[in-house]
Amino acid sequence: MGLLYRAADRIRQRRYADNHGRLGEDLAHRFLQARGCAVVARNYRTLSGSGEIDLVVWDGHKLAFIEVKTRASQDFGPPESAVDAEKRERVRCAARDYARRAEIAWRDTRFDIVSIVLDQPPRIEWLRDAF
């Protein structure tokens, strides 16, 4: 299976060479699945367009709304530093919409960040309860 993932990574890197966000989301998706999370949605957007969630995953009994931040290097700081107050509010807005539609109690949710630096190999850090 590892060989298949490596081949898929190479294809994505060629196809989306300048799209770090797409590559990062693919890596985060696989990373979270490998740690026992069930990915239930990807790039969830509200109907109003007021917010977007990169990944929605079940981690045990908690529904985690994941913001994925990817950088080619840490020259301008860690990727998670790009999740400012405005971004957090847009994610919260979309999360409220998702939880309401899925009938999930708000107390059973949390907000995480997956921070990725595209080194060789990529460095991935999962920040639970990030905001």
Q: Tens of pLDDT along 74-126? A: 888 999 999 999 999 999 999 999 999 999 999 999 999 999 999 989 999 99
Angstrom distance (rounded) from CA 20 to CA 116 = 10
Q: List all residues 6 or more positions away from 43 whose beta carbon is below 8 Å from its beta carbon.
A: 25, 52, 53, 54
Q: List all residues 6 or more positions away from 32 whose beta carbon is below 8 Å from its beta carbon.
A: 39, 55, 57, 59, 66, 114, 126
Give the pLDDT of residue 6.
61
Tell me the CATH number at 116.
Answer: 3.40.1350.10
Angle 107-113-119 from CA coordinates, rounded to 5°: 160
More confident residue, 3 or 31: 31
Residue ranges making up the domain that contains 115:
2-127
Give the pLDDT of residue 16.
47
Domains contained in the chain, number: 1
Tokens 């460095």 belong to 123
Give the pLDDT of residue 17.
52
Local structure of 21: helix, strand or coil: helix
Q: 79: cis peptide before it, omega within 30°?
A: no
Evaluate if residue 63 carries a pLDDT over 70.
yes
Give the pLDDT of residue 22.
85
More confident residue, 54 or 48: 54
Angstrom distance (rounded) from CA 92 to CA 40 = 17
Q: What is the pLDDT of residues 13-31, one digit of tens each?
A: 555 455 677 899 999 999 9
